[in-house]
Amino acid sequence: MVARATDAETRADRDDHTAIRLWLRMLATNRLVEGRTRRLLQERHATTLPRFDLMAQLERAPKGLKMGELSRRMMVTGGNVTGITDMLEREGLVERFADPADRRATLVRLTGAGRRAFAAMAAEHEGWIVESFKELTGREMATIASLLARLKTHVRSLEERDS
């Protein structure tokens, strides 16, 4: 007898509302892709997904970002960003410097070593994600993306209504 994998989706049964089953399937799938990505980043680059995410934000902003902006973009607390930045700075992957437009503010940017390290990680990361979605055709991925965009817009409107 083959053991059935357990995840968030296995909690659902036929009596549950379709929306609940869909939400649990999305959650389970996201956790699988994210878990594999976390494991591969750790195994191959001795890093974490939050560190990768912070470096990705800095890669998109070569002139640097304020800590608050990094926190907003990553949707985590300032304390989390500070801790990750401290570690990356000790490793020589990021640097802090005074904001030329506001000397009271500090910006963070990738160093040359940080750009090279991120480029290596990003190339592999892209391959892992592409491989994870390889079962789907381009048209299927486009359809799912379109439907999720519509759902995201709707949920955002609910958030605005509720607040």
Q: What is the mean pLDDT of each run of 10 residues along the chain (163 residues)?
A: 58 75 93 97 96 97 94 89 96 95 92 97 97 97 98 96 94
The confidence score (pLDDT) of residue 79 equals 86
The confidence score (pLDDT) of residue 12 equals 61
Is the pTM of the predicted complex or chain greater than 0.85?
no
The confidence score (pLDDT) of residue 78 equals 83
Distance CA 107, CA 88 (A): 14
Q: Does domain 49-132 have CATH number 2.40.50.140?
A: no
Boundaries of every domain in the chain: 49-132, 134-163
CA 141 to chain centroid: 19
**DSSP E strand boundaries for 119-162:** none
